[in-house]
Amino acid sequence: MFVHTNRIADSLARRSFVGGSDARIIMGNDDHALLRLWKEKRGEVEPDDLSKNLLVQLGTATEQLNLHWYEINTGQAVIDAQRRIFHPVHRWMAATLDGRIQQTGAVFEAKFMLPWNFSEEDAAEKHMAQLQHNMWVVAARTAVLSIITGGGKWVEITIHADPLYQHLLLTAEKKFWRCVQSGEPPVLFNIETPRPRLSAVKVVDMSSSNHWAELAATYLRTREAHAEHELAKTELKKLMPEDAKEASGHGIKAKRSKSGAISFEAQLTGGSHAPIQ
């Protein structure tokens, strides 16, 4: 009964603001979900009962483990778990945080995702609206997406605040909230999610890739020759007179462009080896 009462109270509280999970729907392309969210905020329908949604419950069940796993693997402390913060100006905007990184102030978001066709880019794009919303509310410059997959894998992704996307997000959320207040049904905003700019955090062993092995062998075989090639180009450019438009000899030809850049090309065997006039 206590858990049920808490869920009802939280549901009533969530009607009074737009949160991070709402942002994903507002910026999405599902008009049915957008209309349902609008009705929920107006109190016309009850929120979906997620207590029987296995994926949602897995995310809830692993949230504390996720936070702990992040802390022991990064040495960073997470604070403000489940703290609700309202925007200082737009009081109809709020963020219920999974946490914040104590040392940097970055937003911390814990997620559980299925392993099939998992990619970091898709994960970041999926949660972009929620992360940008939460960063905007608490004035954070970065967010950390900590993901545990059903395949037993942990992934850390850093997302940077995107001022342009946040401006579009704020515009869309303002329009949605006006619809909630006026009773006018909202329409999709059709805003394209930016491709996430990811920070490199992984160390990967490519020993099992045959293609990597082939290219690595080529790289090692040609590395010294490439260095000699670049050094020769540099010295040849120094030898070319400043007033020369073109120079040739010993199987190569150098050309100076109008901008002053010098390029080289190989000449056919037997070509002219006459000195520059």
pLDDT tens-place string over residues 196-205: 665 555 567 7
Please count the other Cβ atoms lying within 10 Å of the Cβ belonging to residue 60. Answer: 14
pLDDT tens-place string over residues 62-94: 999 999 999 999 999 999 999 999 999 999 999
CATH class of 2-182: alpha beta
pLDDT tens-place string over residues 116-158: 878 888 899 899 999 999 999 999 999 999 999 888 889 999 9
Instruction: Assign 96 a pLDDT band (cuts: 50, 70, 90).
Output: very high
Cα angle value 40/42/48 (rounded, 5°): 10
Q: Which of 159, 157, 167, 161 is nearest to 191 (CA)?
A: 167
On whether the CB atoms of residues 172 and 178 are closer than 8 A, the answer is no
Name 142's bridge partners. 160
**Three-class DSSP labels, the chain:** CHHHHHHHHHHHHHCCCECHHHHHHHCCCCHHHHHHHHHHHCCCCCCCCHHHCHHHHHHHHHHHHHHHHHHHHHCCCEECCCCEEECCCCCCEEEECCEEECCCCCEEEEEEECCCCCCHHHHHHHCHHHHHHHHHHHCCCEEEEEEEECCCCEEEEEEECCHHHHHHHHHHHHHHHHHHHHCCCCCCCCCCCCCCCCCCCCCCCCCCCHHHHHHHHHHHHHHHHHHHHHHHHHHHHHHCCCCCCEEEECCEEEEECCCCCEEEEECCCCCCCCCCC
> Which burial class, exposed, middle or buried, applies to 84 when counting CB atoms under 10 A from its CB (0-12, 13-18, 19+)?
middle
Task: Name the pTM for this structure.
Answer: 0.68
State the span(s) of the chain assigned CATH 3.90.320.10.
Answer: 2-182
Token code pair at residue 13:
């509280």
pLDDT tens-place string over residues 4-36: 445 555 666 788 999 999 999 999 999 999 999
